[in-house]
Structure 1
Amino acid sequence: MTAESQVSAAPSIRAPFRLDGRVALVTGSARGLGFEMAKALAQAGARVTINGRDHGRLAAAAQALAAATGCEVETAAFDVADLAAASAALAALHARHGRLDILVNNVGARDRRALENFTAEEAERLLATDLLAPMLLARQAAGYMAAQGHGRLIAVTSIAGQVANRNDPVYTAAKAGLTGLMRALAVDYARDGVTSNAIAPGMFATETNQGLVHDAAFSAFVDVRVPMGRWGRPHEIGAAAVFLASDEASFVNGHVLTVDGGQTVRM
């Protein structure tokens, strides 16, 4: 066999970090980091469904994503804290495509107050959105993924799941709980071909944080606390989601991928 025929007979090599044919749901993805992760997954070839509560904002986000990626983007309008609605939406997505490969549990409510200022009902509401809802969505998604022998569960936690600020106990507890859940799922579903990992963002210049981004005093804090001396740019989160969703991360399981410019390692 000549060298030329050997080359022609060689199997084609799949491009790395491609998600062609994979079906993904990203919760809380009408804007911010969820939007950027949805965009990156779509650019990598996944069939992406974005989620939010506001139908108008969701439609506008889908249109923007389609324009940016050249891909059709589906929408699923539901509140993750409405457990029945969330379950029904996930079941409908699975029925429509016959599979579910990637779940990015991104929704996260914020309520940062001292513990003594929370009522039991307020604490329950935050924990329901930030911990219970993603727990139940992950359980349902893992069932679909285990049946097909492949899947990626990705939880978007926070560096608040690893380190704590003053007067932020309930949010911190929820994010730490989500990290613990991810690790438990990594153990329970690994032999079904399903990996479970987390992304822990630091301070990103999202729409939600624009007030702080333009606050001179807080920007000075960022300059001191973040070794890179700046806010994260929202698009910088996307590749983390693509990596964890890809075949290149097939042996990455139970890991927290921290994307914070080095904030959590600074003394």
Structure 2
Amino acid sequence: MNSIRLDGKRVLITGASKGIGADLAETFARAGASLVLSGRDREALIEQARNLQQQYGVRVEAVAADLSDSAAPVRLAADAAAVFGGLDILINNAGISHPELVTELTPDAFDEVLTVNLRAPALLAATVGAAMAREGGGSIVTVASAAALRALPEHYAYCTSKAGLVMATKVLALELGPRGVRANSLCPTVVLTEMGSKVWGEEAKSAPMLARIPLGRFAFPAEVSATALFLASDLAAMINGVDIPIDGGYTVS
């Protein structure tokens, strides 16, 4: 992926300060893109931006946003676009998970997951995508989940939110494709971030999941980032409206 360059491209990455988002930020900075990093922790974002600028010589700005706030998606779209005078690429990555049995689900927990994982990214993508269409095109890459494609126990709200996000992305592709905006989603299995390792680190929990993955392992953040970089680039100019599993074959069976 070192051969893929995004010099001159203006990119917004949500959920950028840790986990998959942090790896995405480094990957896109290495490719020469100008970045707007978003997340809840402003101080962490500022430090991350400073480090990426020093390491890769690209412009990186921090725009904090709490996507559980109903007004945040539209406001973030405007604030991020204002940094560079527009956006060429949106990496829609922010999300949360509260594993629970259906029998233990509370309305508040369900609403929080749907707000952050579906409402916020769908509205952000629609707002950014509409602006891209007016300006001649762009690329939206949304990090969904293999849980959007296969049911996962103890993830009722999470599966619901990610499945909705995949379909929202397909509608974006259908409506905005004629105006030069591509929209695609990534559907990784468990990714070995700090959160992923915490949730799936116990062998009793991980073993049944690993048994369903033909390659016999979970994914690494760099494998998600590399696929996102490809989809965002001109190499994927004819790829629109797809959901790509990054799952070692988990969704085959």
Q: Which residue of 2 aligns with 1:252?
A: 239
* SS of aligned partner of 1:228: coil
**1:163 CA drift (Å):** 0.2
CA contact (8 A) 1:186 1:196 kept: yes
For 1:237 and 1:163, the matched residues in 2 are separated by 18
Matches for 1:137-148 after TM superposition, within 5 Å: 137-148=124-135
The alignment partner of 2:98 has SS state of coil
Q: Which residue of structure 2 aligns with residue 12 of structure 1?
A: none
Deviation sequence 1:173-198 (CA, Å, 0-9, x none): 11000000000111000011001100
Question: How many Å separate the matches in 1 of 2:21 and 2:140?
Answer: 15
- The alpha carbon displacement at 1:254 in A equals 0.4
User: Counterparts of 1:158-177 in structure 2 under 5 Å?
Assistant: 158-177=145-164
SS for the counterpart of 2:150 is: coil
Distance 1:212 1:123, change over 3 A: closer
Q: Separation in 2 of the partners of 1:151 and 1:61? A: 25
Task: Give the alignment's TM-score, normalised by structure 1.
Answer: 0.87
Equivalent residue for 1:43? 30
Call closer, same or farther: CA 1:137–1:212 in 2, change over 3 Å.
closer
| Structure 2: distance between partners of 1:76 and 1:151 | 20
Equivalent position to 2:44, from 49, 52, 57: 57
For residues 54 and 248 of structure 2, the distance between their equivalents in structure 1, rounded to whole angstroms, comes to: 30
Q: Deviations over 1:8-47 (max 9, x none)?
A: xxxxxxx963211111111001011111112212222211
Partner SS state of residue 18, structure 1: coil
Partner of 1:76: 63
- Give the direction of change, closer, same or farther, for the CA distance of 1:219–1:118 in structure 2 (3 Å limit): closer
Contact in 1 for aligned 2:142/2:186 (Cα 8 Å)? yes
- The partner residue of 1:97 within 77, 84, 87 is 84
Partner of 1:178: 165
Aligned to 2:18: 31
Q: State the shift of 1:214 in Å.
A: 4.3
Mapped to 2, the partners of 1:249 and 1:238 lie a distance apart of 15
TM superposition score normalised by structure 2 = 0.92
Select between 175-184 and 31-40 the one with higher mean Cα deviation.
31-40
1:264 Cα offset (Å): 1.8
User: Which residue among 86, 89, 101 is the counterpart of 1:114?
Assistant: 101
User: Does the Cα contact within 8 Å between 2:96 and 2:113 map onto a contact in 1?
Assistant: yes
The CA deviation at 1:224 is 2.5
Structure 1: 5+ residue stretches without partners: 1-14
Stretches of structure 2 that go unaligned for 5 or more consecutive residues are none
One-letter code aligned to 1:83? S
Preserved CA contact (<8 Å) 1:17 1:247: no
Q: Give the superposed CA RMSD.
A: 2.0
Tell me which residue corresponds to 2:211.
224
Cα distance, 1:32–1:98 mapped onto 2, change above 3 Å: same
Count of residue pairs brought into register by the alignment: 252
Larger radius of gyration: 1
Matches of 1:214 and 1:110, distance apart in 2: 15
Aligned to 1:135: 122
